[in-house]
Amino acid sequence: MFSLFNFQATSAEYQVWMDDVQEEIRNVGDKAKDNNLAINLLYWSFWSKDVPIRGYNNPDASYRISFTGKPNEILNLDQIRGSIANNVSTCDSRKIRKSYDPANGELSAIMSYSTFNADNTCKHVLTPEKLGYNQYLSGDEFKLSFDVTLALTAVAVNYVIIDDASLRYVMDYGDPIEYGGKNYSVELLYHKSESLLLLFLYYLVFQ
């Protein structure tokens, strides 16, 4: 089921357009047979395609078709599993409380700062102070939260489920970030279908 607004085409053009839409969706379905569930959920949430109306007087006339999955609803599960890790170590997940706010699509890891900082498997993964932790404001609790739509949009770009045509370059964002001996360029991009300003690490998105 889908809705069309301000659609202009003859009956013959509409039939051809619907055939094109069917072909585009069939192509996604063919890919889905070889994808795992995680990748297919990304397609469900972020895939879209501008399908032109062939033969229409306006050569630029096209309509965007898209799937309707919402990450904040997809990730609203009975259990939350996760940890914090890098290529050196993984923080003991038993020391981390997890929470999820489905209304705002916010996933959080909540830790005792003193416990986190005393554990070598945790403190080498990240530095809480660099992520906004302030002991005078937060006491011993360190909370790391992120927007799941923002994070999964970056993943969808990385897997080319969202193509470059769906993103509009806005500006370079600040100076390059040096981490692990590599420089990371940060760019600010605008995802038209989500009305979000997205901050991506160049290495994550384009490498």
Query: Do 140 and 167 belong to one domain?
Result: no
List Cα–Cα distances, 125 to 85, 90, 103, 161, in angstroms: 6, 7, 29, 29
Residue 51 lies in a domain: yes
Domain extent for 100 = 93-148
- For the chain, the domain total comes to 3
pLDDT tens digits along 105-159: 888 888 888 888 888 888 788 888 887 888 888 889 888 888 888 788 878 877 8
pLDDT for 178: 55
pLDDT tens digits along 146-202: 888 878 887 887 788 887 666 654 444 445 555 556 655 544 444 444 434 344 433
Residue 157 lies in a domain: no
Residue 97 lies in a domain: yes
Residue 58 lies in a domain: yes
Is the pTM higher than 0.85? The answer reads: no
Task: Say whether 125 sits in a helix, a strand or coil.
Answer: coil
Using DSSP bridges, classify how beta strands 106-112 and 141-147 pair: parallel, antiparallel or unpaired: antiparallel
Name 58's Cβ contacts closer than 8 Å, sequence gap at least 6: none
Tell me 130's DSSP state.
G
Residue 86 lies in a domain: no
